[in-house]
């Protein structure tokens, strides 16, 4: 398994407090301050144009104001400026420029920028690929409690990428991210407990962690939770609950869950038997290449 590339580039500016304007007068005051060179005001104006919550969204204007604040050394603006280059928002996509601005913010200690540098080193975007460098920057962000970086450290330890493989260290970092509510890490802990990998096997613990991730909409956990309900593994057996969780995963396009919904309709398991519904769900799974769904 490789690191997830888009995981931060869509979180981006949501990590910081955004301005809201009760009236046009407040906006004009902020604009006047920004035009006079106030870096904080320039950054807030960039946020406002980027989000488009209080004023019409305008990526070009956001890019312009972030540029001004970034040039004055404001780390949050440097990071946001890098995000816009990485995403091609308000300007042409340019990973080299994104890397440059992420670096400026990262050396000032901004965790999201440090994490973003880790991603760029992982994929060789805007810089020569280096798992060792990726590990270094993920570590810096992780030490500040940044959950996404902690998850990626867990992955790197799990697969020996940029660091000596260590299931124990992997579990440690997954746990830190999971305890902050990060669903992919919660799911991975569930897998560890279910398989008894570098931890005492516990179906109850596996069920617990799958549940946490599943309730956040994390599809792999929804499917696994359904499977545990169906088997009575770590929880009292319930075909109705199994059908419910397979349905949630299937609705998000998970082929295995779609097949399982078809199977349950065919057998009348946890739901009223329906060959028509079974065929419908088997077909959806088959379209995605699920072998059994195509039978």
Tell me, which fold does domain 113-178 have in CATH? 1.25.40
Copy the structure tokens of residue 71.
């040039």
Which segments of the chain belong to CATH 1.25.40.10?
A: 37-108, 113-178
Read off the DSSP letter of residue 14: G
Residue 193 pLDDT > 90: yes
Return the closest-CA partner of residue 127 out of 91, 98, 89, 107. Answer: 98
Interatomic CA distance for residues 133 and 130, integer angstroms:
5
- How remote is the C-alpha of 1 from its chain's centroid? 15
pLDDT at 25: 72
Copy the structure tokens of residue 147.
């959950």
Residue 11 pLDDT > 60: no
Of the pLDDT bands very low, low, confident and very high (cuts 50, 70, 90), residue 291 is low
pLDDT at 99: 98
Copy the structure tokens of residue 282.
């088997």
Lowest mean pLDDT among 1-5, 79-83, 197-201: 1-5
Tell me, which fold does domain 37-108 have in CATH? 1.25.40
């Amino acid at each position: 398994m490789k690191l997830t590339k888009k995981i931060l580039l869509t979180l981006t500016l949501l990590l910081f407090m955004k301005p809201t304007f009760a009236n046009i007068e407040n906006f004009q005051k902020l604009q006047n301050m920004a035009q006079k060179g106030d870096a904080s005001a320039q950054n807030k104006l960039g946020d406002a144009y980027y989000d488009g919550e209080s004023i019409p969204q305008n990526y070009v204007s956001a890019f312009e104001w972030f540029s001004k604040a970034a040039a004055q050394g404001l780390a949050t603006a440097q990071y946001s400026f890098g995000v816009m280059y990485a995403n091609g928002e308000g300007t042409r996509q340019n990973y080299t420029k994104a890397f440059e601005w992420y670096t400026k913010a990262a050396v000032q200690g901004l965790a999201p920028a440090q994490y973003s540098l880790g991603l760029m080193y992982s994929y060789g975007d805007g810089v020569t690929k280096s798992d060792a460098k990726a590990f270094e920057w993920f570590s810096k962000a992780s030490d500040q409690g940044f959950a996404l970086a902690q998850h990626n450290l867990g992955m790197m330890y799990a697969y020996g990428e940029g660091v000596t493989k260590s299931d124990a260290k992997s579990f440690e970092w997954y746990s830190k991210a999971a305890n902050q509510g990060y669903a992919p890490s919660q799911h991975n802990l569930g897998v560890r407990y279910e398989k008894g990998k570098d931890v005492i096997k516990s179906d109850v613990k596996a069920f617990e962690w799958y549940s946490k991730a599943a309730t956040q909409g994390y599809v792999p956990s929804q499917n696994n939770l359904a499977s545990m309900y169906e088997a009575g593994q770590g929880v009292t057996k319930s075909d109705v609950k199994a059908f419910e969780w397979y349905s949630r995963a299937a609705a998000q396009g998970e082929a295995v869950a779609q097949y399982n919904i078809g199977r349950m309709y065919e057998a009348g398991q946890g739901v009223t038997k329906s060959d028509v519904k079974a065929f419908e769900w088997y077909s959806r799974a088959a379209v995605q290449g699920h072998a059994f769904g195509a039978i």
